[in-house]
Chain A
Amino acid sequence: MSSPLTPMVEVTNLHKAYGPIVALAGVDLSVQPGEVVSVIGGSGSGKSTLLRCINYLDPPDQGVVLINGNRIGDGGPHVPERILRKHRAEIGMVFQSFNLFPHMTVLQNVIEAPCAVRGTPKKEAIELAYDLLASVGVRDKAESFPSELSGGQQQRVAIARALAMKPQVMLFDEPTSALDPELVGEVLNAMKQLAREGMTMLVVTHEMDFAEEVSNRVAFFSEGKIVEVGAPKEVLRNPQHPRLQAFLSRLNSH
């Protein structure tokens, strides 16, 4: 995929190890503005670590992360906290376990970061929050606490909370893996809508139908590396790498 535009996310030669366990063994990936890239692979293959290294929740040991052309750090793990905060403010992240703030209402969850980090006036932040909550279908839950919501509703609030920072890119770390099967659809729909609106998205997922339908590209992770990447139909229907073939046949045998 060639583009004259600066990639929204560009990672080069990313390495990360946790003690003796190598999670990333030299990852290169670039995501164009407006592109949706799904990352698939077995558990422990390093796909979640990739997301956590992009926003430096886990600083990479080595390698370069560029967000919209801006380089984070100097290729090492030590970056000043102040710079990381600026960096993270541009990157929305949605977690498998939602991680809403349980002591705050839905509305407070959504306005906390814009007010604190961006300095958005409260009134403005509330208006934006209501719009975002409406767009993910939970506007009527604004005054509820997370514990009063279903998992699917919580995850949609988490998406709205991330969007409230007006990020340039959204990272999704297995956003539907903790949900009851009947609640998966509502979260995927919210993500599909976001993709249609042109958000740049990097999605770690086990939802192959979603990956095929919504992504521009699919990347297959194995042993800390991207071993195959390409158009969803190619990667999922006509896999070349033996490990990808084995991975997909394991999925289909269920």
Chain B
Amino acid sequence: MSKLDTLLTYAPDLWQGFFLTIWLTILTLVISLPFALAVALVRDAKIPVAKTVLAVFVNIFRMLPALLVLFFIFYGAPSLGIRLSPVTAAVIGMTVMAVAYMSEDIRGTLQSVDQRQYAASKALGLSYAHTIRRIILPQAIPVLIPPLMTRAIIVMKGTSIASFVSVAELTAQASRATSISFEPFIFLGLAGVGYLLIAGLLAILQFAAERHVRRRYRLKAGY
């Protein structure tokens, strides 16, 4: 088989893996973001008991290797009588990790907002929920975009560990094609290009988001 034939043989698999990687990324990010925000807000508001429980949760998961967590869910769930598909197990594992990391990104950003804004809001009689939604978050978001988008890129790259629980995403497809064809440069290279493309898209999204908030709030450089 010529190199071209080899490439064409496995291209559809890689193409599928590419889209599965995108799908895993979107699912993980979309599910984890609201949870991460909730965890950050509860901890930031210092709600008794809940803040401690969540602090323990965040610290356990940010201290464990993602692969271990993933194995734990994939191999542990059946022994609890829960049957999870590989994709479901992978998304749950990656989401738990993403919530732990992202909630810290968000919590740090919330604390970067001038705390006197809370006093000003309270003095006007605004409720806590209103203060968060209308006063604090709009000021936190411009600061949050760079770390959060970096986290999104890390989450996207991290989906490659799903290959360890037999999810046929991009890394799994590339390594399978490589091990059969012995053409590492073609398939691993292609997989690399695939990851670069998705990450590039996220980076462009970040750039657009930063520009949008700069214009929206007429922020000066260095804000």
Give the interface of A toward B (CB within 8 A).
55, 57, 81, 84-86, 88-89, 91-93, 95, 97, 99-103, 112-113, 116-117, 145, 147-148, 161-162, 165
Contact = CB atoms under 8 A, between A and B. Distances in A.
Contact of B125 (A97, A99, A100, A117): A117
A57 B138 contact: no
Contacts of B114: 99
Interface string B212-223: 000001101000
Nearest to B124: A113
A93 B114 CA distance: 17
A116 B123 contact: no
Contacts, number: 64
Contact of B116 (A97, A113, A148): A97
Interface in B79-133: 114, 116-117, 119-120, 122-128, 130
B139 A102 contact: yes
B119 A86 contact: no
B123 A55 contact: yes
A20 B118 CA distance: 25
Contacts of A100: 120
The contact size tier of chain B is 20 to 34
Nearest to A85: B125
Interface string B193-223: 0000000000000000000000001101000
B42 interface: no
Chain B interface mostly: helix
A145 B218 contact: yes
18 contacts: A55-B122, A57-B123, A81-B128, A85-B125, A86-B125, A88-B122, A89-B124, A92-B123, A99-B116, A99-B117, A99-B119, A99-B120, A101-B135, A113-B125, A116-B130, A116-B134, A147-B218, A165-B125
A88 B128 CA distance: 13
B124 A165 contact: yes
A95 B125 contact: no
B122 A103 contact: no
Nearest to A55: B123
Contact of A101 (B117, B119, B122): B117
